[in-house]
A and B are shown apart, each in its own frame.
Chain A
Amino acid sequence: MHEERSFEPETIVGHAGNGCSSEQLFPAPESPDTSHVDLSVDLAGVPLKNPVVVASGTFGFGREYGQFYDLSELGAICCKGLTLHPRQGNPAPRIAETPMGILNSVGLQNPGVDGFIAHELPLLQRSDVKVIANISGDTPEEYGVMCERLSAAGVDMIEVNISCPNVKAGGMAYGTRPELAAEVTKMAKSHATVPVMVKLSPNVTDITEIARAVADAGADALSLINTLRGMRIDVSSRRPILKMNVGGLSGPAVLPIAVRMVWEVACAVKLPILGMGGVSTGEDAAQLMLAGASAVAVGTALFADPYAPLKVRDGLAAIAVQQDLSAVNMLTGGIRPW
């Protein structure tokens, strides 16, 4: 590489003229050898072969993206949100594009927990990938029933959604009131035999208040952030784009909020964190890990690039190499705040 570059006088003059160092003049190859980097992480006792998870609601139950790559490439799959009974979800349009983001209002369309166990889980379990079931209930009791059935069916972890912005009953109400969040967490914990991770809503004044309540109630891990409530209006028709008027904002636009909230929560409680919100590169993921996340989830980035989770994984490995880390889990909590 160096010799080839040295025969490109324009490149050298251009870089030198910009006052760049010799390192930038002769950049490292784009794909450094990362084979010696230990990518494995631990999430509340569940060993993941790498820290990249796919976020609930963006990956279905793995069938579709499984056409593009082997699911065993991923650290874990957070399945599409389940409810006790099947749900048809909200009317369309369910999606709108915003500056560096999207709004969605799918409304937890899903085959129900029994449909998942019968028709989706067996396929997932044939892949060498950890399965995290995501659940939403209308009552604390429903969370308990689902935790029992899913634990018995052999999922690796349960993500308790107390923060869906797109359903009226339960959903976000549980995620915005500490005592309700704690009640749901206790119910889930008392019925689950696998680790319970509670997914927090960013649509609160102080996310650490909810995080503490959930931690005190016995949660094994936290995941954050869910989407932020947002809205987009078509000026000519004066109609909101989404049929439900408002929806949940995700995508790169929310990354700084996710980083901030992961940092705040990591400072407030000792639980492992699955960080998510706008991750589309290894550097985005590294920010969340430095802020305190043990693993990261990729969601909206999939819609632009089905291979985004694998690129995030490889990007994290490359960052580890650049920083002389033998393992990516050394990034977790490594922030040097001012």
Chain B
Amino acid sequence: MPIQQTCTVASMTQLDGVTWWMTLEAGKLVSDHGLSGGQFLHIKCGDGQLLRRPISVAITGWDEPEDLVTLIFEVRGEGTKWLSQRKPGDTLDVLGPLGNRFDVSQPGRYLLVGGGIGVPPLIEYGERLQWPRTAVLGFRTGSKAFPCITSRFQDHCEQTFLCTDDGSLGRHGFVDAQVRDLLEKEKSFTAILACGPKPMLKSVAKVASEFSVPCQVSMEERMGCGIGACLVCAVPMKDGTMKHACKDGPVFDAEEVDWDA
């Protein structure tokens, strides 16, 4: 059940011009309320913004006296700009835990596929999943592949493949090509867990479907209330129904999603 929690900014680190690593002292959101990576917090970004901003959780930790939660976000507009200007000691009005998680209850081998700012929500799955896993991480260019993030996958996954759109680091091309190569060699993945921009999710879902590998995707949509009341963040399903990123998601079964809507 979500609560309203006042969090204190513990640290702010700028990773590049638009990307921030923010650590929050988050009460007992992790230890008592079960917050984990891949879920999101709905954060009030100053009095000038009416709408809260949903920010994915990258890393969570039980701590004393307060749990620590890491958010890795990009400045995309006024709200995230305000968020990036917070200083240690500042407080934030946060709703959470919100959203579901990837289903990793099945024993087996998992394939994590992240793109851009969709990589951080997979960190905990890369580091802590109890099953063996492989990671495919895609970025627009090499300078966006921050070692403080990619190393966490490299240290804990069986294999970690980096791809860049411009070929400046790792494989030249999109993640779905790398996923295809992996599945051609090895179809026995229990599931693909994917997080990133919608076109990437769509192409990964297509490859997964071709190889009959179950695929879960974490979707982004503009949100209102963040808790399922306002029905704003609609994600159309193949069966003609609407689900909502905040309450039914952000993680959906790729087979359910209407990718052509």
Residues on A facing B (Cβ under 8 Å): 57-60, 63-65, 67-68, 80, 88-97, 100-102, 104, 106, 109, 241, 251-252, 300, 302-307
Verify if B148 is at the interface (C-beta below 8 Å from A): no
Q: B50 — which chain A residues lie within 8 A by C-beta?
A: 97, 100-102, 251-252, 300, 303-304
CB distance from A76 to the nearest CB of B (A): 16
Interface residues of B in 1-56 (CB under 8 A from A): 1-4, 44, 49-52
How many A-B residue pairs have C-beta atoms within 8 angstroms? Tell me: 102
A95 to B95, CA, bound (A): 19
Given A58-B225, A95-B223, A106-B231, does the pair A306, B1 have CB atoms closer than 8 Å? no
20 residue pairs of the A-B complex, CB under 8 angstroms, read: A58-B230, A60-B231, A63-B228, A64-B227, A68-B3, A89-B242, A92-B222, A94-B231, A94-B234, A95-B230, A96-B222, A97-B50, A100-B50, A101-B50, A106-B231, A109-B231, A251-B50, A300-B50, A302-B229, A303-B52
A312 to B229, CA, bound (A): 20
CB distance from B149 to the nearest CB of A (A): 28
Query: Is A64 a contact of B247 with CB atoms below 8 Å?
Result: yes
CB distance from B236 to the nearest CB of A (A): 7
Query: Is B225 a contact of A109 with CB atoms below 8 Å?
Result: no
Verify if B215 is at the interface (C-beta below 8 Å from A): no
Verify if B240 is at the interface (C-beta below 8 Å from A): yes
Given A89-B242, A251-B50, A306-B95, does the pair A95, B222 have CB atoms closer than 8 Å? yes
Query: Is A94 a contact of B1 with CB atoms below 8 Å?
Result: no
Q: Which residue of A lies closest to B47 (CB)?
A: A304
Classify the interface of chain B: helix, strand, loop or mixed.
Answer: loop
Q: Which residue of B lies closest to A106 (CB)?
A: B231
A97 to B76, CA, bound (A): 13
Classify the interface of chain A: helix, strand, loop or mixed.
Answer: loop
Q: B224 — which chain A residues lie within 8 A by C-beta?
A: 95, 102, 104, 303
A93-B221, A106-B232 given; name 14 further pairs at CB < 8 Å. Answer: A60-B228, A67-B2, A68-B3, A80-B231, A90-B234, A92-B221, A95-B230, A104-B224, A109-B242, A302-B225, A304-B44, A304-B50, A306-B4, A307-B4
The 6 closest A-B pairs by CB, nearest first: A60-B229, A64-B229, A95-B232, A64-B227, A93-B222, A92-B234
Q: Which residue of A lies closest to B225 (CB)?
A: A303
Mask for B228-261, Cβ within 8 A of A = 1, else 0? 1111111110001110000100000000000001
Q: A300 — which chain B residues lie within 8 A by C-beta?
A: 50
Query: Is B227 a contact of A306 with CB atoms below 8 Å?
Result: yes
Q: A251 — which chain B residues lie within 8 A by C-beta?
A: 50
A236 to B49, CA, bound (A): 21
A211 to B7, CA, bound (A): 47
A300 to B229, CA, bound (A): 11
